[in-house]
């Protein structure tokens, strides 16, 4: 074989290998993005806190738990978001610039019953009473342990949905809310994080029609762009795993678990 032909073959082999590598890398990135999207799920929270380190730390801890998290570093922005978005819970600091936590809570309660966990550096029982009287659902004094905050948050959200128990049984399906596991006829069902969240949200609102908009609002935070058919994919997969009639579609309205 002529030397120049050999070189051509070698360079085209290298080219093919490079393009294969490139394709693999591209697809790995794609799937990594998909996996990240799937894992970043669950209920949507608002954190109103003006201490940057605490706000950042809380946001990371909550996202790691799978919550979608919106943030506000001052009171007015906090109130605006709290009133205009349907959150599953709000973590609200008391001492805030522009508008304090008391005023936010007072104005919020005129419009919404979103569960509120008040956060404060003060450890005075007078503040605790004032907070609870003003419509706060729970109260945590700084400094606090993150696991305690997370436990209180879970219990707050369950209470607000009138499901204080940690297990839900619906027909053949049982959902362990604390462990975030699901069984059907006693056998474990493997769900992706996002499938679990869709199921949990519908199950906690059993008997109520849940609109697609409400589901999207709870699954994605303000920083995420969403794929329009992703919900259909999750519902399709859930039906495959839990039975075709477990989640019912109300055409043009949304979904319901009866
Ligand atoms: Ca503060």
What is the distance in A from the centroid of ligand 1 to the CA of 197? 31
Structure confidence by residue, pLDDT tens digits, 162-206: 666 677 889 999 998 777 889 999 999 999 888 888 998 899 888
- Quickly list DSSP for 213-246: HHHHHHH--TT----TTHHHHHHHHHHHHH-TTS
State mean pLDDT over 66-79: 94
Residue 108 and residue 206 share a domain: no
What is the distance in A from the centroid of ligand 1 to the CA of 3? 74
Q: Phi and psi at residue 21, in whole multiples of 5°?
A: -60, -45
More confident: 7 or 69 = 69
In a domain, 11, yes or no: no
CATH number for position 72: 3.40.50.2300
Nearest to 203 by CA among 43, 40, 41: 43
Provide the residue range defining the domain that includes 112: 44-160
Q: Alpha helices of the chain — where are they, by DSSP H? A: 3-39, 52-64, 75-84, 101-109, 125-133, 146-160, 193-204, 212-219, 230-242
What is the distance in A from the centroid of ligand 1 to the CA of 131? 15
**Best mean pLDDT range from 4-13, 33-42, 98-107:** 98-107
What is the distance in A from the centroid of ligand 1 to the CA of 96? 5
In a domain, 92, yes or no: yes
What is the distance in A from the centroid of ligand 1 to the CA of 56? 13
Residue 177 and residue 124 share a domain: no
Residue 144 and residue 71 share a domain: yes
Four-residue CA torsion sign, 79, 145, 219, 164: negative
- Compute and round to an integer the Cα radius of gyration of the chain: 23
In a domain, 25, yes or no: no
In a domain, 34, yes or no: no
Residue 236 and residue 151 share a domain: no
Q: What share of the chain in percent tops pLDDT 70? A: 76
Q: Give the position of tokens 């001492």.
A: 95
Among 20-24, 149-153, 215-219, 235-239, the range scoring the smallest mean pLDDT is 20-24
pLDDT number for residue 173: 94
pLDDT number for residue 255: 94
Please say which residue of 107, 139, 160 terminates a domain.
160
pLDDT number for residue 224: 59
What is the distance in A from the centroid of ligand 1 to the CA of 94? 6
- Of the pLDDT bands very low, low, confident and very high (cuts 50, 70, 90), residue 34 is very low
Please say which residue of 160, 191, 206 terminates a domain.
160
Residue 241 CB partners (closer than 8 Å, separation 6+): 184, 189, 190, 191, 195
Residue 89 and residue 71 share a domain: yes
Q: What is the pTM of this model?
A: 0.58
Residue 106 and residue 59 share a domain: yes
In a domain, 58, yes or no: yes
Helix (H, G, I), strand (E, B) or coil at 198: helix
Q: Provide the 8-state DSSP code for 187.
A: E
What is the distance in A from the centroid of ligand 1 to the CA of 237? 43
Q: How many domains does the chain have?
A: 2
Structure confidence by residue, pLDDT tens digits, 222-258: 665 556 678 888 999 999 999 999 999 988 889 999 9
State mean pLDDT over 2-26: 54
């Amino acid at each position: 074989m002529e030397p120049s032909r050999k070189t051509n073959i070698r360079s085209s082999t290298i080219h093919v290998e490079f393009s294969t590598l490139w394709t693999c890398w591209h697809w790995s990135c794609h799937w990594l993005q998909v996996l990240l999207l799937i894992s970043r799920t669950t209920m949507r929270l608002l954190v109103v806190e003006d201490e940057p380190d605490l706000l950042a730390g809380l946001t990371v801890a909550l996202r790691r738990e799978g919550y979608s998290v919106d943030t506000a570093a001052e009171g007015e922005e906090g109130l605006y978001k709290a009133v205009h978005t349907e959150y599953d819970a709000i973590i609200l600091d008391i001492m805030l610039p522009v508008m304090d936590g008391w005023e936010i809570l007072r104005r919020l309660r005129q419009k919404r019953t979103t569960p509120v966990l008040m956060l404060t550096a003060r450890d005075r029982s007078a503040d605790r009473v004032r907070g609870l009287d003003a419509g706060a659902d729970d109260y945590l004094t700084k400094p606090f342990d993150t696991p305690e905050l997370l436990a209180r948050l879970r219990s707050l959200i369950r209470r607000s949905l009138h499901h204080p128990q940690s297990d839900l049984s619906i027909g053949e399906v049982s959902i362990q809310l604390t462990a975030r596991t699901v069984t059907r006829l006693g056998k474990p069902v493997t769900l992706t994080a996002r499938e679990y969240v869709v199921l949990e949200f519908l199950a906690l609102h059993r008997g109520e029609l849940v609109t697609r908009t409400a589901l999207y609002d709870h699954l994605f935070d303000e920083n995420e762009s969403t794929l329009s058919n992703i919900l259909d994919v999750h519902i399709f997969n859930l039906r495959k795993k839990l039975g075709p009639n477990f989640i019912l579609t109300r055409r043009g309205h949304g979904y319901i678990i009866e």
